[in-house]
């Protein structure tokens, strides 16, 4: 069984398995699943086994081992790794090998984790289906005709496929929680600033946050413990002590906790009945655990998606400027033939035209427009104002309740190709998740059952800033009372 980090740590401690054995099992599983699932963009068996061998040697020598010693961890391909390519699943960066590690990758290495490879994603983390990847689509292990969600589709699918116990995703508008929900695993977006963004290739800097994906809450807590904390190289990183996230999860007690049920938002068109039912059932579970459920509303809910789709593309249009073929990224080989623009501008134009996919171009266009002179007041500045109102809604809500409960996604995983040509439909996948990013609060996606066709359905808990412990406590209690997180896709069951 390779699906629990805690179990892997125990096996090694008890001498039942070595890190190399565990890593090779993971590598074999990846190799077997890759043709169907395609969760990875890069796996180097030798590098991974060498890292595992170092852990075994350290253990043999009686050295002090880090908290993730010998545990295989997959890393989303938007996080810089000095010894592996970092592509953002874009043609633009297909040959990019950063000379440095991201802050979270450094922490993984320091904790003696075995970084097993880089996972597939929507190009530059833009998308909700992992169909916008220059390395091909990732498929949902529960049903390979379905999308795994996005943009951390590979990060969620590699866990769901049983290849690694832990993976790191990034969440700008729901990119950890939505694929975790669709792949039936647990994913957490931490408070903005809780985890370093140094070495995370930026999509929308004020929204991006790195977070853990695993089957169960204790594993998520373990990985969060490793990656959270201050990094002086990221000015938005919070210089505060972090809680011990794993403590007390077994005995979590929800007595007296007030949980706000975001009922109104569930009653809109396009929200699948299975999602509504799962959320209401989850509310009953929490009630049975001693929590008080109150119905609550976040009044500016209707503005979440439009606000997000102004702010995120605006920042993206700026962050992606550096990929111009001169400094970074793919350079067009043929720049002749446009005398009017001159060789420099032609290099920029052709390189970007060839290097970026449609969705990335669409968002660069939207962002450039929203920031442009004469429109910035109408769109960008307006969006910033609404963002403050949205934050205000959260503050008000958290004055009344300890946690918010609601759906993660409007529907379970949809068929591949269904929404590729309808960006607006695709953007509505973020309906329930973007609020947490706009407000900077932490949120977790918890498996909450299967729909009639056997696809995972999930619920989301949101907490006030820095209250990751509260989310993990509630999540652990929920998972003690239910077995949704123990279901495995039949095709890849071990």
Partner 1 sequence: MTLSNGYPTTTVIGLEVHVQLKTETKLFCGCSTTFGAAPNTQVCPVCLGLPGALPVMNDAAIELSIRAGLAIDCSIPPMTKWDRKQYFYPDLPKGYQISQFDLPICADGFLEIPDPANPEKTRHIGIIRAHLEEDAGKSMHDEAAGRGDTRIDLNRCGTPLLEIVSQPDLRSSAEAKAYLQELKLRMTHLGISDCEMQEGSLRVDANVNLHIEVDGKKIATPIVEVKNMNSFRAVERAIEHEVDRQYDLWEDTGKTIEDETKTTRGWDDGAGKTFLQREKEESADYRYFPDPDLLPIRLPADRIEAARASLGELPAALRVRLENQYGIKPYDADVIVNQGPALIAYFETAGTKSGDGKRTSSWIQQDVMRTIKDREIDIDQFPVSADELGELLRRVSKGEIDNTRARDVFAHMIEHQVTVEAAITALGIESVDDNELESLCKELLDANPQVVEDFKGGKQQAVGSLIGQAKKRNPNANPQVVRETLIKLLQAM
Task: Out of 5, 80, 168, 438, point to the residue binding partner 1 (CB under 8 A).
Answer: 80
Is residue 239 involved in binding partner 1 (CB under 8 A)? no
Task: Tell me, by CB under 8 A, how many residues bind partner 1.
Answer: 44
The rounded distance, in Å, linking the Cα atoms of 471 and 187 is: 11
Comparison of 139 and 197: residue with beta carbon closer to partner 1: 197
Is residue 356 involved in binding partner 1 (CB under 8 A)? no
The rounded distance, in Å, linking the Cα atoms of 197 and 176 is: 15
Q: Is 99 exposed, middle or buried (0-12, 13-18, 19+ CB in 10 A)?
A: exposed
Is residue 102 involved in binding partner 1 (CB under 8 A)? yes
Catalytic residue among 33, 129, 151, 237: 151
> Which stretches of 63-110 are DSSP H helices?
103-110
Comparison of 182 and 202: residue with beta carbon closer to partner 1: 202
Is residue 373 involved in binding partner 1 (CB under 8 A)? yes
Q: Are 446 and 475 in contact (CB under 8 A)?
A: yes
> Is 151 part of the annotated catalytic residue set?
yes
Comparison of 211 and 218: residue with beta carbon closer to partner 1: 211
Q: Are 154 and 176 in contact (CB under 8 A)?
A: no
The rounded distance, in Å, linking the Cα atoms of 154 and 176 is: 10
Residues in 207-236 that interact with partner 1 by CB under 8 A: 232-236
> Is 175 part of the annotated catalytic residue set?
yes
Is residue 314 involved in binding partner 1 (CB under 8 A)? yes
Is residue 202 involved in binding partner 1 (CB under 8 A)? yes
Is residue 348 involved in binding partner 1 (CB under 8 A)? yes
Vertex 143: Cα angle to 137 and 149 (nearest 5): 50
Is residue 326 involved in binding partner 1 (CB under 8 A)? yes
Comparison of 100 and 415: residue with beta carbon closer to partner 1: 100
Q: Are 390 and 307 in contact (CB under 8 A)?
A: yes
Using the rule CB under 8 A, give the single segment among 141-149, 250-258, 370-378, 441-449 that binds partner 1.
Answer: 370-378
DSSP 182-250: HTT-EEEEPPTTTB--TTBPPSSTTT-EEEEEESSHHHHHHHHHHHBS--TT-TTS--S----TTTT-T
> Is 318 part of the annotated catalytic residue set?
no
DSSP for residue 379: T
Is residue 82 involved in binding partner 1 (CB under 8 A)? no
Catalytic residue among 175, 216, 265, 314: 175
Binding site for partner 1 (CB under 8 A): 79-80, 86, 88, 93, 96, 98-100, 102, 197-202, 204-206, 232-236, 314-315, 317-318, 320-322, 324, 326-328, 344-345, 348, 368, 371-373, 376, 380
**Would you please indicate which residues are annotated as catalytic (active-site) residues?**
76, 151, 175
């Amino acid at each position: 069984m390779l699906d629990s980090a805690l179990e892997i740590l125990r096996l090694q401690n008890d001498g039942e398995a070595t890190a190399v054995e565990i890593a090779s099992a993971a590598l074999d599983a990846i190799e077997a699943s890759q043709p169907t699932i395609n969760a990875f963009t890069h796996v180097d068996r030798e590098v991974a086994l060498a890292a595992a061998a170092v852990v075994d040697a350290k253990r043999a020598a009686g050295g002090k081992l880090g908290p993730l010693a010998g545990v295989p961890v997959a890393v989303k391909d938007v996080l810089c790794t000095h010894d592996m390519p970092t592509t953002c699943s874009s043609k633009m960066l297909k040959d990019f090998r950063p000379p440095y590690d991201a802050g979270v990758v450094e922490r993984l290495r320091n904790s003696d984790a075995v970084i097993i490879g880089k996972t597939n994603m929507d190009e530059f983390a833009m998308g909700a289906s992992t169909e916008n990847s220059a390395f091909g689509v990732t498929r949902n292990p529960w049903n390979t005709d379905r999308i795994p969600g996005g943009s951390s589709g590979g990060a969620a699918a590699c866990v769901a496929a049983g290849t690694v116990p832990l993976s790191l995703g990034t969440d700008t508008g729901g990119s950890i929680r939505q694929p975790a929900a669709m792949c039936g695993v647990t994913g957490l977006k931490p408070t903005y600033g809780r985890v370093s963004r140094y070495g995370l290739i930026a999509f929308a800097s004020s929204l991006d946050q790195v977070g853990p994906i695993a089957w169960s809450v204790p594993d998520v807590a373990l990985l969060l413990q490793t990656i959270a904390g201050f990094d002086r190289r990221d000015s938005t990183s919070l210089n505060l002590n972090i809680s011990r996230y794993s403590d007390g999860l077994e005995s979590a007690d929800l007595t007296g906790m007030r949980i706000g049920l975001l009922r109104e938002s569930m009653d809109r068109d396009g929200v699948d009945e299975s999602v509504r039912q799962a959320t209401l059932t989850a509310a009953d579970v929490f009630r049975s655990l001693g929590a008080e459920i109150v119905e609550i509303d976040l009044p500016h809910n209707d503005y979440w998606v439009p606000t997000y789709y102004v702010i995120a593309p605006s920042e993206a249009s700026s962050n992606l400027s550096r990929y111009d073929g001169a400094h970074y990224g793919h350079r067009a080989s043929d720049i002749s033939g446009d005398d009017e623009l001159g060789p420099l501008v032609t290099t920029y134009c052709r390189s970007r035209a060839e290097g970026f996919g449609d969705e990335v171009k669409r968002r660069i266009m939207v962002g450039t427009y929203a920031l442009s002179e004469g429109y910035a007041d109408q769109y960008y500045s307006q969006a910033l104002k609404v963002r403050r109102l949205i934050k205000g809604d959260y503050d008000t809500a958290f004055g009344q309740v300890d946690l918010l409960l609601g759906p993660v996604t409007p529907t379970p995983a949809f068929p591949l190709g269904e929404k590729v040509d309808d960006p607006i439909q695709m953007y509505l996948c973020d309906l329930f998740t973007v609020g947490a990013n706009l407000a900077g609060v932490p949120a977790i996606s918890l498996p909450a059952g299967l729909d009639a066709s056997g696809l995972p359905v999930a619920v989301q808990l949101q907490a006030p800033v820095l209250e990751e412990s509260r989310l993990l406590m509630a999540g652990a209690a929920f998972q003690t009372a239910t077995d949704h997180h123990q279901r495995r896709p039949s095709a890849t069951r071990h």
